[in-house]
Structures are given as C-alpha cells and as structure tokens.
Homo-oligomer: A and B are copies of this chain.
C-alpha cells in the first residue's frame, strides 16, 4: 500500500510521486499538442518523459485519469491568471474586455497547453463511449459569464438579451480566436482580442 485515502478523498502523495505526476502530465501536454489526442499513446508519453510505460500505470489509475489531470492543471493555471487580472474591474464592459484580453495574453504564452486542452476536450470519452468533456461540462463557465452579462443588464449598461446565448457565443468566439491563431501564427492575437471585445460590447448595448 503506497498511500491511504484521506478524509477529503485525496491521496496523500510523497514529493517524489507528485513530481513524477507533474513530469508525466507535462509530457502528456507536449505529446498531445504535437501528435494529437488519437496518437498520444501511453508509450509515446512515457518515451517523451524518458521513463518506462509502466510508470504511468503505476502513478495514474489509467489514461482517463491522466487526461483529467492535464485538464485540471491547465484550467487551474488559466483561472488563476485571469481572475487576478479581473480583480478591480468595475463595469461589466470592463470585466468583459479584461476577460477576453487576459485569456488571450495568457494563452499566447502557453500555446501547447491550449492545443492539448482542445484535443482532450474534443476527443476524450468515458468508458461507455460518451464524450468526457463538452458543452455539458462548460456549465460552470457559462454561469460565470452569464453573471457578468446579467450584472451589466442590472446596472443598465446592457440591453435585454438572452444571457445564455451571449455566454455561449462569448466562449465560442474566444475558442475560435485561439483556433485561428494556431493555424495562422502570424495573426495578431492581441488585436483580435481587442476587436472581439469591441464586437461583444456593441452587441450588448
């Protein structure tokens, strides 16, 4: 027995184990971004990490848990960065613009993570064949965006519109901005982000 179940449901992990998990997750991010989800086998990830394939099975319950770890860690990073930038913003319009611009800024500096996240999002399926991520897992994100838009409506900044449609569109527009940038690396991401912020702000007023 290498660890016990803790009250919180988390395993107690040694430093070494945590370091290994980090290393494997990072290797997974790189491999997925390079060759795509379908070709990102445990063998390739292990090779990239410079370890034997069995180590992954030793530290992770299976491929699914590894992929979920990738998602969780990347998401945590993004959230940390963006939330910090949004603090202090007052108006809804300002919140909007800050959200878009800061996500863009962070992702420009972490391109591989973005690619890997997209791959997992689009491809990972649970054992029974259903997509593991998708619109249904974005519910929390949508609600967060909705609260911004609703705030704008309450403050009289924004007109009346369906906040769910706006939130879905908002998130899709950001994703598309990244997708476009990924295939057109010379594309000016920051300029796109500003244009998008203008666009959405006008759509609300």
Q: How large is the interface on A (under 10, 10 to 19, 20 to 34, 35 or more residues)?
A: 35 or more
Please measure, in the bound complex, the distance between the C-alpha atom of A122 and the C-alpha atom of B168, giving whole angstroms. 19
CB contact under 8 A between A165 and B123, given known A36-B129, A129-B39, A136-B183 = no
Q: What does DSSP make chain A's interface, helix, strand, loop or mixed?
A: helix
Residues of chain B with a CB closer than 8 A to A180's CB = 135, 168
- Taking a contact as CB atoms under 8 Å apart, the answer to whether A161 and B195 are in contact is yes
CB distance from A10 to the nearest CB of B (A): 29
- Taking a contact as CB atoms under 8 Å apart, the answer to whether B161 and A168 are in contact is no
- Taking a contact as CB atoms under 8 Å apart, the answer to whether A179 and B134 are in contact is yes
Q: Is there a chain B Cβ closer than 8 Å to A166's Cβ?
A: yes
Residues of chain B with a CB closer than 8 A to A165's CB = 177, 192, 195-196, 199
Residue pairs across A and B with Cβ atoms less than 8 A apart, 5 shown, are A36-B125, A161-B195, A162-B192, A172-B179, A202-B202
Closest 4 CB pairs of A and B: A172-B176, A135-B183, A203-B203, A165-B195
